[in-house]
Structure 1
């Protein structure tokens, strides 16, 4: 049947778009752009037909949601950072068939998920920025997944990731890539200090935390990382409460995952936040380590919104 061919944690910093434009920031994020191009090259070499993006800029308050419209095209300006991303054109195809299949399988496994294939809902920039560099020629179909989840358990997001992998491997005729689109630590520079922190992490503590996480990823310390993820997501100001990371690790087998991260773009700072492009080799798994429904409601952290 189908195959999860590639899994990666990717940056979507809007300064990548600024890096294209004339001005003081021109060329300053070329390393991140090159990382996206390399991930795209690997996806093409593996025969990937669809990229599923866990988007930490798509906020939802109930259920999990997939945007799998047949086509998207438009001009995007960020409501969060309109001075960074303004009038950015985009266009690519969706995969309604796969989107419905993913949602059906997740719901059957106890993670209620809705597929939206007849919708005017446009993707957020957690999807649009990576696709700008990975999919400029519209080679891949795209599905966007809500990953800024305000009332959800990280364990449920891990189960969602595993259910999606099973949907691909058991029921889909094709090859798919999963991208967790979000940062490591995500403490934005305080208002008025953004220019000063354009290439700096907000605090030495957050940088040390991120450095240790990258070390764990490179050495394959997944049991320890999964155990600390809820606290890391809270104390590290995790983007989207790090639901994208839970989804990705869930798809890879959670704490039983036995791969080691391949760092494509080394850790870098952007407006106070910690960023990376890293590929996680997909290895055979049985999903036994992925949290079960009763555990997710009885004892796991809930990703409470920050004040």
Structure 2
């Protein structure tokens, strides 16, 4: 029954729109002059968003206070931050599972999102005050390239809309200084709820994202914010950061994560086209939301191995911090 809801990228309406003709593509950005750094995607990271990691860091923006915890994953993010700076990006582009849109793909085009983001299941851990800048020109270009590719895309321009905790969590953990502009994309979760891992549309969105980045001349770092295995406890210890209670949900979930990570470590990324759906089936993986597929498709499924910077569990879910450099 689930397969009834699997459809090609776009819809019948968008297909008719393509048949009727689409606007000519804008001219690409000029080539860099000698000494200038080349535009494009300079790195991509699997950057999971468990609110516990932000909670454990005790940043001033987050109201709850902790005594630490989940150090190995947090050390992985420390290394991610060091490497991200070395890439000297102009912008961070993030796709996360919890800005859920049921029709199409939305791109945040609000110039200065501000507010408080609350994790609905763990409000005692994550009440985060955010204030950041959006690269509006790039955001609008992603909308245009998505439409040109036949996707249903929309630009969010409503001030005051609360930014989801997954987007905020991934961005904070990757760049707690918040000194780089951001573009955030929604997760179209029709495939997530109604089919068995239909990821083809996320590949189309990834290609559209790359084209927009190259067209606008940006040096971009991409953040795909999925956890891996996603079965989790329904209760937590009295002290949330009590690491004696932290372990994989079961051996099968852990083994599934290790199989996927071994494929990542061996490369090339093209092997993940088959490995990710297999992992989703075995572990209820959050990669079903498409962030990892979007990330690797945007990078052109590069012929490289991923560098696993850390792996650990959070309330039993598997989480890995991984870098790919094209």
> Which blocks of at least 5 consecutive residues in structure 2 are unaligned?
1-28, 30-38, 193-197
Aligned residues: 276
Report the counterpart of residue 12 of structure 1 in structure 2: 49
- Identify which of 222, 230, 255 aligns with 1:178: 222
Q: Does 1:125 align with 2:125?
A: no
Q: Does 1:50 align with 2:91?
A: yes
Query: In 1, Cα distance between the equivalents of 2:133 and 2:259?
Result: 38
Mean Cα displacement is larger for which, 230-239 or 97-106?
Answer: 230-239
Query: In 1, Cα distance between the equivalents of 2:172 and 2:92?
Result: 13
- Identify which of 265, 275, 283 aligns with 1:228: 275
Cα drift, residue 82 of structure 1 = 1.1
Cα drift, residue 193 of structure 1 = 5.9
- Identify which of 273, 283, 289 aligns with 2:317: 273
Query: In 1, Cα distance between the equivalents of 2:68 and 2:256?
Result: 28
Aligned partner of residue 259 in structure 1, secondary structure: coil
Aligned partner of residue 133 in structure 1, secondary structure: helix
Cα drift, residue 48 of structure 1 = 0.7
Query: Aligned in 2, Cα 1:69/1:35: closer, same or farther, shift over 3 Å?
Result: farther
Q: Does 1:192 align with 2:235?
A: yes
- Identify which of 202, 210, 220 aligns with 1:157: 202
Give the alignment's TM-score, normalised by structure 2.
0.77
Contact 2:72 2:312 in 1 (8 A): no
Query: Aligned in 2, Cα 1:103/1:175: closer, same or farther, shift over 3 Å?
Result: same
Cα drift, residue 158 of structure 1 = 1.2
Query: In 2, Cα distance between the equivalents of 1:248 and 1:26?
Result: 33
Report the counterpart of residue 291 of structure 2 in structure 1: 244
- Look at both structures and tell me which one has the larger radius of gyration over its CA atoms: 2
Cα drift, residue 141 of structure 1 = 0.6
Contact 2:49 2:169 in 1 (8 A): yes
Query: Aligned in 2, Cα 1:43/1:23: closer, same or farther, shift over 3 Å?
Result: closer
Cα drift, residue 186 of structure 1 = 0.8
Cα drift, residue 121 of structure 1 = 2.1
Contact 1:158 1:247 in 2 (8 A): yes
Cα drift, residue 90 of structure 1 = 1.7
Aligned partner of residue 58 in structure 1, secondary structure: strand
Contact 1:48 1:176 in 2 (8 A): yes
Q: Does 1:219 align with 2:266?
A: yes
Q: Does 1:61 align with 2:61?
A: no
